[in-house]
Amino acid sequence: MNRVFNFGAGPAAIPLEVLKEAQENLVDFKGEGLSIMEASHRSKMYDEVHSEALALIRELYEVPEDYDILFLQGGASMQFAMVPLNLSLGGKAQYADTGSWSTKAIKEAKIQNIDFEIVASSKDSSHNHIPKDINFSDDADYAYITSNNTIYGTQYKTFPSTKAPLVVDASSDIFSYLVDWSKIDLMFAGAQKNAGPSGVTIVIIKKELLTRVKENIPSMLRYKTHSDTNSLYNTPPTFGIYMLGLTMKWIKTQGGIKAVQKANEEKAKLLYDAIDNSDGFYVGHAQKDSRSLMNVSFNIKDKDSELEAKLVKLATNSGMIGLKGHRSIGGLRASIYNAMSFEGIKALVALMEKFASEHR
């Protein structure tokens, strides 16, 4: 088997053990005579898969009982609209703008014509840091942050404290470290970075927020609709939820989220050390105190686009894909989510060091 190291931002690498178990059961799921993709979402066969995935998230992520866990569709982008639809009370919503995805969330608030303000932004510095001392108003309808910025390679090290409900878009770092639920009221994430394939959106919401929604909001866009029906109001993305459950089992075999976090910190250090010890040949985009453990965005000295393209091509030919930076900032980007192995990081670092020595 010739598996490449996938440094793509998403859909991203899935643990090989997960893929192999899914492959083994794809045609005949545990002797049932059909694939899980063919099974009714009302069947006992699927109900066990669904319930186990929910239970594993609660166990591994240490989700308190006064939070509900929902499986939705539409990606994180749908949540940009669902958050104000469900949480806006006619007061003011507040946002921290730290990258493209928070900017898109702000756009959806503007479309809905709700009262909102941007209380912190890193836009003027090309989103190369997380603003310090973000102060949300205690009486805001909700406060909104993006915990990890996939394009710019920045990540919150601690979440702001606020009495207003804190909404966290954790699409690119969910399940990569344990969070402090006392600070969070709603968290959402697309699955395709750390939780399996694309198609499932995870929402973890404090139950007391479920009744906020106004009567004129369509049923499918209400969190309460999905809470009341155990995320089975309509046909859920059954295969994606099955894969999510397998990914949660994989995290458990790694020693849980604390063990995964430790591995993520060690992997990121290897790569950031290669950048920092390159005598200026490689330059990281994010300020050091805001560096992401999930996405490492960097350039070659003087933003030499020809050399950057050459390195991307060399990496691809060496079995390392997805290293081209996002079109909005260019350069290079290595996404090193939970499933990225130490071997992958070491191979990339070796290539970068060799390339730097040959092109200084």
Domain that holds residue 110: 29-253
Alpha-carbon gap, residue 22 to 6, rounded angstroms: 19
pLDDT band at 354 (very low <50, low <70, confident <90, very high): very high
Domain boundary among 253, 274, 298: 253
Looking at the structure, do residues 230 and 164 belong to the same domain, yes or no? yes
What angle is formed at CA 196 by the lines to CA 45 and CA 102, rounded to 5 degrees?
130
Looking at the structure, do residues 273 and 296 belong to the same domain, yes or no? yes
Residue 14 lies in a domain: no
Selecting among 169, 185, 224, 249, the annotated active-site residue is: 169
Alpha-carbon gap, residue 79 to 101, rounded angstroms: 11
Looking at the structure, do residues 120 and 131 belong to the same domain, yes or no? yes
Query: Is 2 a residue whose pLDDT tops 90?
Result: no
Residue 63 sits at φ, ψ, to 5 deg, of -75, 125
Selecting among 193, 224, 267, 324, the annotated active-site residue is: 193
> DSSP label at 33?
S
Please, are residues 266 and 336 in contact by the beta-carbon 8 Å criterion? Answer: no
Looking at the structure, do residues 207 and 339 belong to the same domain, yes or no? no
Residue 169 annotated to the active site? yes
CA 215 to chain centre: 31
Residue 206's pLDDT is 98
Please, are residues 122 and 98 in contact by the beta-carbon 8 Å criterion? Answer: yes
Buried b (16+ CB within 10 A) or exposed e, 244-282: bbbbbbbbeebeebeebbebbeebbeebbebbeebeebb
Selecting among 101, 173, 185, 324, the annotated active-site residue is: 101
3-state helix, strand, coil in the chain (%, to 5): 40, 15, 40
Alpha-carbon gap, residue 349 to 310, rounded angstroms: 16
Residue 193 annotated to the active site? yes
Instruction: Please give the mean pLDDT across all residues of the chain.
Output: 97
Q: What is the pLDDT of residues 56-71, one digit of tens each?
A: 999 999 999 999 999 9
Q: What is the pLDDT of residues 294-311, one digit of tens each?
A: 999 999 999 999 999 999
Alpha-carbon gap, residue 341 to 346, rounded angstroms: 9
Instruction: Give 242's contacts (C-beta < 8 A, 6+ positions apart).
Output: 22, 36, 49, 53
Residue 310 annotated to the active site? no
Domain of residue 297, CATH code: 3.90.1150.10
Domain of residue 113, CATH code: 3.40.640.10
Q: What is the pLDDT of residues 204-248, one digit of tens each?
A: 999 999 999 999 999 999 999 999 999 999 999 999 999 999 999
Report the 10 Å Cβ neighbour count for 311: 21
Structural domain tally of the chain? 2
Task: Using alpha carbons, select from 92, 81, 137 the residue that is nearest to residue 117.
Answer: 92
Q: Work out the average pLDDT over 145-165.
A: 97
Instruction: Give 218's contacts (C-beta < 8 A, 6+ positions apart).
Output: none
What angle is formed at CA 66 by the lines to CA 65 and CA 71, rounded to 5 degrees?
80
Residue 119's pLDDT is 98
Residue 313 sits at φ, ψ, to 5 deg, of -65, -45
Q: What is the pLDDT of residues 77-128, one digit of tens each?
A: 999 999 999 999 999 999 999 999 999 999 999 999 999 999 999 999 999 9
DSSP characters for 171-182?
A: TTTTTSS---GG
Q: Cβ-count burial of 207 within 10 angstroms (0-12 exposed, 13-18 middle, 19+ buried)?
A: middle
Residue 11 lies in a domain: no
Residue 17 lies in a domain: no
How long is the chain?
360
Query: Is 315 a residue whose pLDDT tops 80?
Result: yes
Looking at the structure, do residues 296 and 210 belong to the same domain, yes or no? no
